[in-house]
Structure 1
Amino acid sequence: MNSFLRRYFPQACTLLACAALSLPASAADPTLEATIVALDAKAFDAFNHCGEAGRLQEHATYFAPDVEFYHDQGGVTWNREAMLANTQKHVCGKFRREIVAGSQRVYPIQGFGAIEQGSHRFCQFATGSCDGLADFTIIWKQSPAGWQMTRVLSYGHRANQ
């Protein structure tokens, strides 16, 4: 029996370690999740009020200068300046973004930042109706200066049923 253990124990440990490493990544720790959820809320509070003086510029601070924004219906913007121009033209004073309760998930990116995923709906200021629903993914980068969005995807736009 001892020779059996000596012979196969190292291989068994290696297999167990490999199996543990192949498990799906779990959601972020509560501190990271709370940080990203709070940043999202602040960034999109500014977005929701971007028609007010200074709020579009505040919204801009949450995005890296070279942010890439992918929108399944609107196409791609390749930098913060273009993204903000689109926001000002198509969003400010017209509608607001709301997170679908319970949909946000945050996952760490080792040595870089985090991935945020969820669903959001868009509500018109004029009518109060929340007609649009979509999914989103945001890549957040942490630097000594703070957190910024580097990639944003908004996709699967559909009617809010």
Structure 2
Amino acid sequence: MSGLLEAVIALGYGFASAVVPLVNAEAFAVVAGTHGSHVAVAVLGLALGQTAGKLLLFESARRATGRLARRIARGPRSARAAARASRWAGSIRRWLSRRRTGLPTVFVSAATGIPPLAAVSLAAGTADLRRCEFAAACLLGRVIRFAILALPLALA
């Protein structure tokens, strides 16, 4: 398979895996590592696709912040549960809105998967985190994650 075709497939697969939870990007990275011909291209394409998909989640949450907050507030909960959810969402939003805590959280989430990057992407979209900083931290973390999965297999 040519490097360009592999990059396009990895990019599309990465985007799909960022949006559809059943599509597993880590499995793609492992398979790309076992084939080993263009593993760096596959890792980069996969990371770029994942970052683009997570930016879509980020922007969706950013544009729907007011509606999302109203929907969470009026959900079928007791007043106590609604207050607890509101406090939790507020503290997460404050945590992610600070550059010194928000960017490392996005990076660690992208590199390790803990906390889940999809949830962090949505929460970061509601916070005041800058789009380009979110994308850079996400891309760097994803490249590291996929390289750790694929490169040992390619070198073996």
Q: Which has the higher helix share?
A: 2
Q: Fold conserved (TM > 0.5)?
A: no
Q: Which has the higher contact order (CA 8 A, sep 6+)?
A: 2
Q: Which has the higher strand share?
A: 1
